[in-house]
Amino acid sequence: MHEVEAFGPVSTVMTYDTVESAVELARRGGGSLVGSVFTADDALAARLVLGLAPLHGRVLVVNRHCAKDSTGHGSPLPHLVHGGPGRAGGGEEMGGIRGVLHYMQRTAVQGTPDVLSAVMGRWVRGSRELDPGVHPFRQPFGALRIGDTFRSGEREVTLPDIERFAAISGDYFYAHMDEAAARRNPLFGGRVAHGYLLIAAAAGLFVDPPLGPVLANYGIDALRFTQPVKPGDRIKVRLTCKEKSLRAGQGYGEVRWDTQITNQDGATVAQY
């Protein structure tokens, strides 16, 4: 039964006693494009998915909340795997965009940060910083170069800054407002500035205010706070043009910036 793939209309009903036996029955096929699980029990679904995944390219889980909207057992979707291991062929059908990757070569590139930046068209940390001669925010999209960098002056973060930010934001977390409690925190050992206060202060350090080529802030990717900032610490910002992409037909482009906030000792306190 499990050695012959009989395309429908053929169906076989098989009973099982445990989740493990259900998984074993499904795995006997030696590989499949897709397996479907119908259950109202999320915990049971999780156990079945983990058991079925090694021999199925896709697992469809259906319950009462999604049954009407389900795309069905065999429907290939553009951003999901439609292929499978073992007898399913070990590849992906072209119904999914990921199948294109099987026609591409993956190649590792070794070199200095400058070489990697040139190859990828994207600034890599450690690459040369270029001086555009003016603030990067004054540069039109076409004139802005990958690697163009602005370095700000310093700003001291004070206790009144922290308290005003708490009042404005409503964030009175003890690490910012309660010295005795903050001292008990093994990460801080005393009151520290809000992370988002640092981000706001950094913007104040690098933004060029007048009307110019910059239209809006699109968002922040991969933000990390790497070291606490305490009252009396001084911060500064390095802002580097990391990547550019033109929005076709829109008349404008998107610029991604590599941003590093450091303290008076040169240690990185935040980056994105």
Please give the single-letter amino acid code of residue 224: R
Count helices and strands (H / E) in the chain. 7, 10
Residue % of the chain over a pLDDT of 90 = 77
Containing H/E element for 199? helix 195-206
What is the per-residue pLDDT across 212-256, written as a single tens digit (0 to 9) for each? Answer: 999 999 999 999 999 999 999 999 999 999 999 999 889 899 999
121: left (phi over 0), alpha (psi -120 to 50) or beta: left
What is the per-residue pLDDT across 109-119, written as a single tens digit (0 to 9) for each? Answer: 999 999 999 99
Q: Quickly count: other Cβ atoms within 10 Å of residue 115's Cβ.
A: 13
Please give the single-letter amino acid code of residue 116: L
Among the listed residues 206, 209, 221, 217, the one whose alpha carbon sits nearest the alpha carbon of residue 149: 206
Can you give the pTM of this predicted structure? 0.81
pLDDT of residue 133: 96
Spans of all domains in the chain: 19-103, 121-271
* Partners of residue 268 on adjacent β-strands: 262
For residues 243 and 52, what is the distance between their CA atoms, to the nearest angstrom? 40
pLDDT of residue 1: 60
Whether the CB-CB separation of 166 and 172 falls below 8 Å is answered with yes
**Which stretch, 26-40, 56-70, 148-162, has highest mean pLDDT?**
148-162
pLDDT of residue 171: 98
pLDDT of residue 95: 64
Q: What CATH number should be reported for the domain whose range is 121-271?
A: 3.10.129.10
For residues 119 and 116, what is the distance between their CA atoms, to the nearest angstrom? 5
Task: Identify the burial level of 237 via C-beta atoms within 10 angstroms of its C-beta, where 0-12 means exposed, 13-18 middle and 19 or more buried.
Answer: buried
Share the mean pLDDT of the chain.
Answer: 93
pLDDT of residue 80: 82
Q: 93 or 170, which is more confident?
A: 170
Within 8 A by CB and 6+ apart from 66, the residues are none
For residues 107 and 121, what is the distance between their CA atoms, to the nearest angstrom? 16
pLDDT of residue 2: 62
What residue ranges in 53-169 does DSSP mark as E strands?
A: 56-62, 83-84, 91-92, 149-151, 155-156
pLDDT grade for 74, boundaries at 50, 70 and 90: confident
pLDDT grade for 77, boundaries at 50, 70 and 90: confident
Whether the CB-CB separation of 204 and 165 falls below 8 Å is answered with no
Compute the average pLDDT of residues 10-19: 88
Residue 48 has pLDDT above 80, yes or no: yes
For residues 133 and 189, what is the distance between their CA atoms, to the nearest angstrom? 42
For residues 213 and 173, what is the distance between their CA atoms, to the nearest angstrom? 38
Block residue for tokens 């370095």: 151
What is the per-residue pLDDT across 141-168, written as a single tens digit (0 to 9) for each? Answer: 999 999 999 999 999 999 999 999 999 9
Q: Quickly count: other Cβ atoms within 10 Å of residue 262's Cβ.
A: 19
